[in-house]
Structure 1
Amino acid sequence: MTITLPGPTLGVVGGGQLGRMMGEAVAPLGVEVVVLDPTPDCPASPVVSDQIVGGFDDPDAIRELASRVDALTFEIELADPDLMAEAAAEHDVPVHPDPDTLRTIQDKLVQKEALVDAGIPVPEFVAVATAEGLERVVEEFGGVMLKAREGGYDGRGNVPVRDPADAADALDEVGGNAMAEEFLDFEREIAVMGLKGADGETRTYPVTETVHREEILRESVAPARTGDAVVAEAESVARDVLDVLDGRGVFGIELFETKEGEVLVNEIAPRPHNSGHWTIEGARTSQFENHVRAVLGWPLGPTDLVAPAVTANVLGDVEETQPATLSGVEEVLAAPDADLHWYGKDDVRPLRKMGHLTATAGGDDPRDDDASGDADRDALLSRARALRDGLTFRTE
């Protein structure tokens, strides 16, 4: 392949924070980015070449996007795989990851069934469509995590059900078409950002520990504070997952580490993922740059860790929706070991992801001695949390 600069133009369905960070990552490579998003002046719009305002299922908007670019990708699972495939064929542009992969992942039940068919370990699960059926499953499993089969993200669409009497309300909350998954007594949640490039090349980023509360990712720690055997198993499982998925790009593979040291697949995202935001500062090539490289068929960048890193999400700490103004920023900017990322969202609402900060080990800071050890990552996590907790959207 011959690559010249200025580079090609990439079309991205979705213009949220992931599209924004894609645009930021590949501007130095001469790649132009055009996003499609229904929200005028979406978060990605200030840092990309152009935005097409349109729905993710708007055939005219999708066709217009395909007509203006050299390759297509997406940053949100709400993208319509059929429309992308049709538009890509009409305008003879590649679309990655493959729309068939998106179809599989959009339905969590279908996703889990595909993993089971491939012999990949997952928690016990069952489809449920009635309150009576859910009651039986709750009794059998002793409680379940009920998940909407389609449309859920960032903890939305997930409802824990421990009492059969709560089945009907829980099923109503997720929309009635759901999957029930056994509760696991896991040791920790971990993730691997997997990467598929041209000619079947695969790479993985270091295994990351993810810390959730109320089903929302709060912090990620890289490398994960776990043993070598679990790391090796997580990397092996992640590569098995990549073998199941068609198309090029980054895949966020969320995993459970059980008390017995087993590794089970929780969910997969066919795109860059919040669990991998630390790669911007902590890896040789960020997940965003590598996603675009892969989609374009360019050589992949190295995924090696350059510094232990902890990312802390900046979430809406308000009780109702209001214009977004973040205070306390000066302490983060003054910190020699932290980097702040603002997602450009106009309004803040409770627990909405508004940005993140990443604290990295290294340099002359005495906190960074023996940076590879768990104790140092404990301290780095505390540091990131302290900086993050000093930020607020409250006006009082």
Structure 2
Amino acid sequence: MTTLRTPGPTIGVVGGGQLGRMLAEAASPLGVEVVVLDPTPDCPAAPVVRDQIVADFDDEAGIRELAARADVLTFEIELADQDVLERVSEDSGTPVHPKPSTLRTIHDKLVQKRELEDAGIPVPPFRAVDDADDIRDAIDDYGAPVMLKARTGGYDGRGNVPVESKGDAEEALESVAGPAMVEAFVEFEREVSVIAVKGDDEIATFPLGENIHVDEILRETIVPARSSEAATERAYEVARDVLEVMDGRGVYGIELFQTPDGEILLNEIAPRPHNSGHWTIEGAHSSQFEQHARAVLGWPLGSTELRSPTALANLLADVEENRDAQLRHVDRVLETPGATLHWYGKRQARPGRKMGHVTVSGRDEDAAVEDLLETARELEDAVTFRSQ
């Protein structure tokens, strides 16, 4: 097969889901090509990228092919194999950003928390879990409930299980089905996130977002967050400290708890563009995806300033079992001023699966985020992903 190349660089991405799709959409106007590696044929990113290599995330031969076709490698999913990426990078000379060492830290949530705590980052009390007695001991020390987390593989709330009492410990541990850790439950006023960008010799942060979760799944984000000036500045301080621990260029989604007294505690880190940063496509002068492309290539970063207050609502599949996906009621979004629909191109609707999102941006800098959020919720209710 003849491979066509543009004069610009190519980014090789391990993972071809919605993040890879939106990264390619943002990279194209910069003259940057994107090739993805994903095990699902015709993955969500396929329609907008130069090419897809169909292979598993840890397939060394596939990743070597990706490296041979790219100027830099990155990833949009933590299931990428850090050891394979490291070997391929060393052998091929194709750099990986963020660095595989960062992915190694992030991959295991217990390792992540230990390294961050050692670096002085404020985190909730936590401990490793080997058996149900460890959960019961944590309840004795932290009080109930506690949050049980799978150390690896969890995402979109999967692998996070609240444990309300000692009697629930066995069942909770069985549901995690693998190495686990437990954290003290944080009584927070709000959940917030900093989308931060680590460039070649510069750091940039987007305005603080406020996140609303249901059943541990992110449903909505509003920007700017309804936080005090002091709490907002503290969130930026923690985010900058986190970046000091992370190695390599790129976007980092840094999820935080804000307590009622204004304290900021780290929840989790994603070394890639993050769901809570999707609002930046319409709401900021440059999106998190454009920033990620710039950063991994070592290019100057763009402006992260807010264009206007923005609300985001995720569109989850409204089905009880796996079905072919069908998008409905798009007209409700299209006829709403300031609203934008993003469809991820997923062929199958699964219960609770993120199929797309809607953003609603204000027309001026004084727009009330509460009003924008209400509109986003109405559109979320109107648009559905079902089968006939």
TM-score (norm 2): 0.97
In structure 1, distance between residues paired with 2:54 and 2:185: 41
Please list the CA deviations of residues 216-245 of structure 1 after superposition, one character each: whole Å capped at 9, or x if unmatched.
Answer: 000000110111111110011100111110
Correspondence for 1:353: 354
Please list the CA deviations of residues 285-322 of structure 1 after superposition, one character each: whole Å capped at 9, or x if unmatched.
Answer: 10001001000001111111011111100001111110
Please list the CA deviations of residues 337-394 of structure 1 after superposition, one character each: whole Å capped at 9, or x if unmatched.
Answer: 10000000000011100000100001xxxxx5832xxxx1111100111111111234
In structure 2, distance between residues paired with 1:70 and 1:184: 43
Q: Shift in Å at residue 134 of structure 1?
A: 1.4
In structure 2, distance between residues paired with 1:22 and 1:395: 28
In structure 2, distance between residues paired with 1:294 and 1:235: 19
In structure 2, distance between residues paired with 1:325 and 1:210: 27
Equivalence map 1:283-322=2 (5 Å): 283-322=284-323
Secondary structure class of the residue paired with 2:290: helix
Please list the CA deviations of residues 63-111 of structure 1 after superposition, one character each: whole Å capped at 9, or x if unmatched.
Answer: 1111111100000000001111111121111110010000000100111
In structure 2, distance between residues paired with 1:369 and 1:248: 31
Select which of 360, 367, 372 maps to 1:380.
372
In structure 2, distance between residues paired with 1:133 and 1:229: 37
Correspondence for 1:56: 57
Question: For residue 163 of structure 2, what is the amino acid of its counterpart?
Answer: V
Correspondence for 1:239: 240
Q: Shift in Å at residue 176 of structure 1?
A: 3.6
Secondary structure class of the residue paired with 2:232: helix
- Alignment gaps of 5+ in structure 1: 363-367
Q: Shift in Å at residue 395 of structure 1?
A: 5.3
Correspondence for 1:173: 175
Equivalence map 1:211-226=2 (5 Å): 211-226=212-227
Please list the CA deviations of residues 166-204 of structure 1 after superposition, one character each: whole Å capped at 9, or x if unmatched.
Answer: 1111111112411100111100000000100012x1111
Equivalence map 1:105-254=2 (5 Å): 105-142=106-143, 143-199=145-201, 201-254=202-255
In structure 1, distance between residues paired with 2:36 and 2:155: 20
Q: Shift in Å at residue 6 of structure 1?
A: 3.1
Question: Conserved in 1, the CA contact under 8 Å of 2:309 and 2:365?
Answer: no
Correspondence for 2:100: 99
In structure 2, distance between residues paired with 1:381 and 1:132: 43
Count of aligned pairs: 382
Which moved further from structure 2: 24-33 or 136-145?
136-145
In structure 2, distance between residues paired with 1:222 and 1:6: 37
In structure 2, distance between residues paired with 1:395 and 1:51: 27
Question: For residue 89 of structure 1, what is the amino acid of its counterpart?
Answer: E
Please list the CA deviations of residues 106-148 of structure 1 after superposition, one character each: whole Å capped at 9, or x if unmatched.
Answer: 1001111111111110111111111122122123222210000
Secondary structure class of the residue paired with 1:259: coil
Question: For residue 162 of structure 1, what is the amino acid of its counterpart?
Answer: E
Correspondence for 1:365: none
Secondary structure class of the residue paired with 2:120: coil
In structure 2, distance between residues paired with 1:232 and 1:141: 28
Correspondence for 2:366: 370
In structure 2, distance between residues paired with 1:293 and 1:303: 13
Question: Conserved in 2, the CA contact under 8 Å of 1:129 and 1:176?
Answer: no
Correspondence for 1:84: 85
Equivalence map 1:261-340=2 (5 Å): 261-340=262-341
Question: For residue 170 of structure 2, what is the amino acid of its counterpart?
Answer: A
Question: Conserved in 2, the CA contact under 8 Å of 1:230 and 1:261?
Answer: yes
Question: For residue 256 of structure 1, what is the amino acid of its counterpart?
Answer: F
In structure 1, distance between residues paired with 2:321 and 2:149: 25
RMSD of aligned alpha carbons: 1.1
In structure 2, distance between residues paired with 1:21 and 1:393: 20
Question: For residue 151 of structure 1, what is the amino acid of its counterpart?
Answer: G
Percent of residue pairs bearing the same amino acid type: 62
Secondary structure class of the residue paired with 1:198: coil
Correspondence for 1:69: 70
Question: Conserved in 2, the CA contact under 8 Å of 1:130 and 1:176?
Answer: no
Question: For residue 370 of structure 2, what is the amino acid of its counterpart?
Answer: D
Which moved further from structure 2: 331-340 or 260-269?
331-340
The change in CA–CA distance for 1:334 and 1:162 in structure 2 (over 3 A counts) is same
In structure 2, distance between residues paired with 1:394 and 1:70: 40
Question: Conserved in 1, the CA contact under 8 Å of 2:338 and 2:362?
Answer: yes
Question: For residue 146 of structure 1, what is the amino acid of its counterpart?
Answer: L
- Alignment gaps of 5+ in structure 2: 1-5
In structure 1, distance between residues paired with 2:147 and 2:307: 36
Question: For residue 392 of structure 1, what is the amino acid of its counterpart?
Answer: T
Question: Conserved in 1, the CA contact under 8 Å of 2:10 and 2:72?
Answer: yes
